Structure 1
Amino acid sequence: MRKSTTPQPTGPESISSARVSKLARRPHRKSRNGCFNCKRRKVKCDEVKPACANCVRFGIPCDFAPQPPSSDDSAPHTSPPEILSVLAEPATTPRRGPGRPRKDWAALTRPPPPPPPASDRTTTSPSSTSATPVSSSTISNSQICSLNIADAELLFHFMANTSRTLHDADDPVDDIASFWARNVPQIGLSYHFVLHMMYALAGYHLVYQEPKGTERHSQSLALAAHHAELGIYEMNRTLTNLNEANCGALYVAAVLVCYCTFAAGPTGPDDLLVCVIGEGISQRWLPVIHGVRLIRQSIEPATLFTGLMAPLGGGGTNSEMEDTKPDFMVTGFSYIDWVGPLEKLRLWIASHENPDTALYLRVHKSLCDVYEANFGNAEGLVQVPTMNKFVFGWLYRMQDLFVGCLQRKAPQALLLMAYYVPLFRTMKRSWFMEGWATHLLETIREWNMMNKLDLDRSAVAPDDFVNWPNNAVSKFLSSSYTFE
């Protein structure tokens, strides 16, 4: 049985049918009318309105959909239910399909938060005493921090001006210059008590530069005292947990406390810098003496003077051979003939035997070493360690027993302190010692007069001994050598 066959078109009909089939399979031309989200994700948009399929799938607003009504519109508008279902954020996170994690595209379409009101931008925030800075990602719009201009000025003044007065280097790129101007502020970012002490010293420096009685002078003094109090409090709390991580910051803070104590000036007529003399008044040790000494004794130098602290260890890249010439020949301050007067003082101390005579003679020898390093001996040579050029080293090595003698108004101790005073003027940049020389010499002279010393075995009255430090200080004040 023959199968029936369907006749196939031939001729012009077959050509027309093939042409229609080819046109139906022609790909869709590219369109640039897709929604913004699809363009951002670089995917094909079906351009269906009011919301394309891709935006509906991901639960994000489609820019084809009309925007929700503004709160400023006078007449309320209602949106169709299908549009509300697209614009509303899902109550629960949609289930992720297989494949790579996707971005939070909805977050990218949200408008930026409005700026804070003008009243919030003009207020200043208090100084933070936290040891850990707060991440900006956790701060809400209502907690946007504003600038504290007063603290910013103190930081700038410390880095640009005050730091230059804490060393003798004239080269701004010298290791020790960079340490005070850059390393110390960097340490302060991690340990805020260092920042507070920086602010305090910068404030006292501004007090020194501003005329007394001006508003700026009073404001700088109040800021300096405020930051000094906060810094010392935080430093003392941290000092109870001294370790290899925080030893450098504590060491720097202790030195800054020393400078701030000097810069704040005498606390009263009986203030002898390291203690307060007089009946019923408690001893006032400089915190730096115990603080620095404790840290140096507890931490190995190889651990203490590493990283940002390396320049203080004496092994910087710019370190040179120590100059063994007397410091006055290098720095340029006036020479003082100290050998004879200090020898007379030694003989007078030795001639008054008492249980503390040996202590006084040791302190006298330590004081002579500082004078020799700065002025040379009788032959003009320096035969003592060059570390004695550091004038404050005498205070660092001072023993508690000697401080007790000062508080008891022992004549020998008072005279030794008076003979230390002229060394203040050998420091090239000693603004923080302003007023101390006159105050100490006047206080010691007054107490010497009240002591009525026994002069049976001495041909020279104690007041005559005090005359020499006074004359030495006056010589410095009348010289052309300037101090910053």
Structure 2
Amino acid sequence: MAGSGPRKGHRKSRKGCSACKRRRVKCDEVKPSCSACQRLDIACDYAVSSARLLETSPAGIHRLSPTDRFDFDILDLGLLHHFTQCCCVKVPSQHRRDLWTGQVVKLAFEHRYVLDQLLATSALHCMLISPGKTHLYLPRALLFRDRALRTVQPILQAMQSEHSVAIFAFAGLAMIYSFAERTIRADAEGPEYDPILHLVECLQINRGIATIVASQQTAIEGTWAKDLIQMSSENDFHRLRVLHQKAGGAEVLHQMIDEHEPSAPRRAAAHDVLSVFTSNIQIIAWRGGQDDIASHLIHSWTTHASSDFWLLLESQSPVALALVAYFAAMISLQPGFWWFEAWPAMLMTRIKSTLGEDWAPALKWPQELIDAHLGTLSCSE
């Protein structure tokens, strides 16, 4: 079997440039411009980061510098316009699109962290559709993302009900950004980029966001924000799941989990998550992948997965990688969500090259689903 051990991470340096720190990637500390910044053709700055300054001055979190105020240049206004016209066009219903492009934009001018996350997300989308203008949009994406995280952190640490709607909107945008930034990460890290490690980070962000949102669900249900994202109950999902028929393709992986995972708690966690992925895939396929239930199934499972599953996933064991293949198949069935584009093929390439032919039977069904979906997209384009 090809190398199935976990990939080693790198030691983080406190002396790296500001851009690499914002991207959370390794910096080779070459001066005056590190290799990653040279590759991305962006400015390389070794100044002390604002995040470290805040560590020594908690009160500074609440003081707005001139660059933190609601001032815009033409490019920023263009990002705001782009968000309303392009970023949300694939949200399942017109009503929900109107909320994202109307109410959320209004909310953004009341809560700076929502505005910054919105602009960061829009900048990433502009990068994806206009790669020749990366030098314009990448610095904006990094700036707004960094500022959004710095601003929202103290609010999350002392969460109050008056921020519920704003945090809910921020959460959705942050989730999109975490998946969409794969282009930045892949270009900056080059051959060292590990999509599995990046996916683990995305899923953990999604899990944390979903937990916060769930804690504020009562406050959100009494507002317009309740329609931003589907928040159906577990009973709703159970009624849907009993409709699915047993998928023979998943049975091979169930058997291999028993054969290859020595830890009983992790075996149980793997079987549970595989069962959820299998039923979710069939429900999404049955419903055409174009409604709110389908979207919610893709994101909600992280809050119900056990701690043993997360330990398994972080280990990047063969069982964990095979489970990721089913996640890749699941997101491939959700059409039009630009932040998921390229993820299924990218993940399957990494998984198959690591696991080798021994695991090919367990990967056959998710690979067929991904291939069928990509073929459908190619025919419709």
Say yes or no: TM over 0.5.
yes
Of residues 207, 211, 223, the one that matches 1:307 is 223
Partner deviation per Cα, 1:71-105 (whole Å, 9 max, x = no partner): xxxxxxxxxxxxxxxxxxxxxxxxxxxxxxxxxxx
Does 2:348 correspond to 1:441?
Answer: yes
Of residues 263, 275, 283, the one that matches 1:354 is 263
Amino acid in the other structure paired with 1:344: V
Of residues 293, 296, 309, the one that matches 2:214 is 296
State the Cα distance separating 1:392 from its structure 2 match. Answer: 2.2
Structure 1 segment 356-435 matched on structure 2, within 5 A: 356-376=266-286, 390-435=297-342
Q: 1:159 corresponds to which residue?
A: 84
Secondary structure at 1:207 match in 2:
helix
Partner deviation per Cα, 1:115-162 (whole Å, 9 max, x = no partner): xxxxxxxxxxx98535xx7xxxxxxxxxxx7x5111111111111221
Does 2:263 correspond to 1:339?
Answer: no
Contact kept, 8 Å, 1:437 with 1:473, in 2: the verdict is yes
Alpha-carbon distance in 2 for matches of 1:358, 1:350: 9
Q: 2:92 corresponds to which residue?
A: 168
Does 2:160 correspond to 1:239?
Answer: no
State the Cα distance separating 1:234 from its structure 2 match. Answer: 1.2
State the Cα distance separating 1:302 from its structure 2 match. Answer: 3.0
Secondary structure at 2:195 match in 1:
coil
Q: 1:208 corresponds to which residue?
A: 128
Contact kept, 8 Å, 2:230 with 2:296, in 1: the verdict is no
Contact kept, 8 Å, 2:120 with 2:142, in 1: the verdict is yes
Contact kept, 8 Å, 2:124 with 2:180, in 1: the verdict is yes
Amino acid in the other structure paired with 1:262: F
Secondary structure at 1:179 match in 2:
helix
Q: 1:230 corresponds to which residue?
A: 147
Amino acid in the other structure paired with 2:80: L
Contact kept, 8 Å, 1:197 with 1:256, in 2: the verdict is yes
Alpha-carbon distance in 1 for matches of 2:379, 2:107: 32
Secondary structure at 2:253 match in 1:
helix
Does 2:177 correspond to 1:177?
Answer: no
Of residues 366, 369, 372, the one that matches 1:472 is 369
State the Cα distance separating 1:435 from its structure 2 match. Answer: 2.1
Amino acid in the other structure paired with 1:155: L
Alpha-carbon distance in 1 for matches of 2:375, 2:339: 19
Q: 2:4 corresponds to which residue?
A: none
* Shift in CA distance, 479/471, structure 1 to aligned 2, threshold 3 Å: same
Does 2:190 correspond to 1:251?
Answer: no
TM-score (norm 1): 0.55
* Shift in CA distance, 372/388, structure 1 to aligned 2, threshold 3 Å: farther
CA RMSD of aligned residues (A): 3.3
Q: 1:41 corresponds to which residue?
A: none
TM-score (norm 2): 0.68
Does 2:115 correspond to 1:195?
Answer: yes
Structure 1 residues not aligned, in runs of 5+: 1-125, 134-144, 277-282, 316-320, 327-336, 450-459
Alpha-carbon distance in 1 for matches of 2:92, 2:338: 13
Contact kept, 8 Å, 2:278 with 2:326, in 1: the verdict is no
Contact kept, 8 Å, 1:414 with 1:444, in 2: the verdict is yes
Contact kept, 8 Å, 1:418 with 1:444, in 2: the verdict is yes
Alpha-carbon distance in 2 for matches of 1:465, 1:150: 48
Structure 2 residues not aligned, in runs of 5+: 1-64, 186-191
Percent identity reads: 17
Alpha-carbon distance in 2 for matches of 1:483, 1:426: 15
State the Cα distance separating 1:482 from its structure 2 match. Answer: 7.7
Alpha-carbon distance in 2 for matches of 1:225, 1:312: 25
Give the structure with the higher percent helix: 2
Alpha-carbon distance in 2 for matches of 1:302, 1:325: 24
* Shift in CA distance, 159/468, structure 1 to aligned 2, threshold 3 Å: same
Partner deviation per Cα, 1:396-446 (whole Å, 9 max, x = no partner): 433443222122122212101112212222212221122212221122223
Amino acid in the other structure paired with 1:205: H
State the Cα distance separating 1:483 from its structure 2 match. Answer: 8.8
State the Cα distance separating 1:219 from its structure 2 match. Answer: 1.0
* Shift in CA distance, 424/482, structure 1 to aligned 2, threshold 3 Å: farther
Secondary structure at 1:429 match in 2:
coil
* Shift in CA distance, 357/241, structure 1 to aligned 2, threshold 3 Å: same
Secondary structure at 1:242 match in 2:
coil
Alpha-carbon distance in 1 for matches of 2:271, 2:174: 30
Contact kept, 8 Å, 2:210 with 2:300, in 1: the verdict is no
Q: 1:269 corresponds to which residue?
A: 193
Contact kept, 8 Å, 1:421 with 1:440, in 2: the verdict is yes
* Shift in CA distance, 479/394, structure 1 to aligned 2, threshold 3 Å: same
Contact kept, 8 Å, 2:312 with 2:320, in 1: the verdict is yes
Amino acid in the other structure paired with 1:153: G
Alpha-carbon distance in 1 for matches of 2:219, 2:249: 43
Alpha-carbon distance in 2 for matches of 1:290, 1:483: 36
Secondary structure at 1:185 match in 2:
helix
Q: 2:189 corresponds to which residue?
A: none
Contact kept, 8 Å, 2:284 with 2:294, in 1: the verdict is no
